[in-house]
Homo-oligomer: A and B are copies of this chain.
Amino acid sequence: MIILDKIKVGIVGYGTIGKRVADAVMLQDDMELVGVTGNSYNFRMEVANMNKIPIFNICDKKLFEENNIKLAGNFDDLLNSVDIVIDCSPKPHGKENKEKYYIPNKIKAIFQGGEKPDVAEVSFVAQCNYSEAMNKDYVRVVSCNTTGLSRTLGAIDKAYGITDVHATMVRRGADPGDIFHGPINAIVPVLEMPSHHGPDVRTVLHDLNIFTTAMSVSSTLMHMHSVIVDLKKKPTTEEVIDLLKNTTRVRVVRNAERVRSTAEIMEFARDLGRNRGDMYEICLWEEAIGAEKNKLFFIQAIHQESDVVPENIDCIRAMMGFEDAEKSIKMTNKTLGIK
């Protein structure tokens, strides 16, 4: 492959997802990080500045100057310098930005899963529907939970045919750096039936019959899904384990090596030397995968801070016309340390 020009990428919103995607863009040979936006001064901005990432600021200019951070320009300057924007601002700002900036400036944009599906032409998970995003202008990388369900259910559906799925999703109450949200001591059911996650999975796996319920708990590390699937075929447990071990961006972990909880998965990721201790892969416990007749049960853990990071990278390539999905996934994986 010869890439004459690197893809010029801008990141709008430099929070949990934005800062990770920025780092990932910088690791790609075929991409160039033009810069990020910083709406307010904080330690993330200090680190971006240390790492020589250009910061394009919309407001708060004075505070940046007081802290000796030189700004690279304003928002328009960023938009004028990029081929594509990854909008990682909190919902519903993505949609607002689209109307106000991206459409008028005729700039391609990727949105995140907090936005509603209609913000984009396609909802995206690389290993499920890469081709659908080819050359599109607006694509939405789905949420961490939807990404997780799509990766595993997509592979299972392809191999055995799924007739029905029910997933109970136990969600972390807040991200690790968020001190404001609870619950401190409660289990909080999501009182919509079904939860919105099921329909969201269908934006990627279009014909999947899936029903989801959800709860929030007092943890910051990962979400956990208890999934029960009705299959057309009757694979053995070993066959399913094998399938999942050979599915990209999915990792089979083992109680046998003392990975017994979300805490230990995160510890494992730190030990692996991952950037920020991230676990991009959806993790399933080998000991909790069970196939019986045409039913399949499994438990999977989702690192809400990072599993969509590789998706954003592949999405850039698809939208810019890079045709080979498998090759893109391999390139992205290699840079992030995913086997």
Contact = CB atoms under 8 A, between A and B. Distances in A.
Given A185-B185, A186-B179, A263-B177, A275 B276 contact: no
B299 A213 contact: yes
A218 B184 contact: yes
A189 interface: yes
25 contacts: A41-B256, A43-B258, A44-B271, A67-B257, A177-B263, A179-B183, A179-B260, A179-B264, A181-B181, A183-B219, A185-B221, A186-B261, A187-B217, A187-B223, A188-B263, A189-B261, A191-B255, A191-B260, A191-B285, A191-B287, A192-B287, A193-B297, A211-B297, A226-B226, A270-B277
Max chain B C-beta neighbours (<10 A), residue from A45, A67, A179, A301: A179
The 5 closest A-B pairs by CB, nearest first: A186-B263, A177-B267, A42-B258, A168-B168, A179-B183
A25 interface: no
A160 B19 CA distance: 42
Contacts of A258: 40, 42-43
A183 B41 contact: no
Interface string A246-278: 000000010111111111101110111101110
A162 interface: no
Contacts of A285: 189, 191
A182 interface: yes
Interface size class of A (residues with CB under 8 A): 35 or more
Max chain B C-beta neighbours (<10 A), residue from A170, A178, A217: A217
Contacts of A241: none
A168 B286 CA distance: 18
Interface of A: 19, 40-47, 50, 67, 166, 168, 170, 172-174, 176-189, 191-194, 211, 213, 215, 217-224, 226, 228, 253, 255-264, 266-268, 270-273, 275-277, 285, 287-290, 295, 297, 299, 301
Contact of A217 (B168, B219, B226): B219
Given A177-B267, A213-B297, A226-B226, 11 more contacts: A43-B264, A47-B271, A168-B226, A173-B184, A179-B264, A187-B301, A193-B288, A194-B290, A194-B297, A228-B228, A270-B276
Nearest to A267: B177
A163 to B, nearest CB: 13
Contacts of A50: 272
Nearest to A181: B182
B43 A184 contact: no
Contact of A181 (B184, B188, B221, B264): B184
A301 B50 CA distance: 23
A230 B229 CA distance: 14
A177 to B, nearest CB: 4
Contacts of A186: 179, 219, 221, 261-264
Contacts of A221: 185-187
B215 A185 contact: no
B266 A189 contact: no
Contacts of A260: 179, 188-189, 191
Contacts of A174: 182, 184
A27 to B, nearest CB: 12
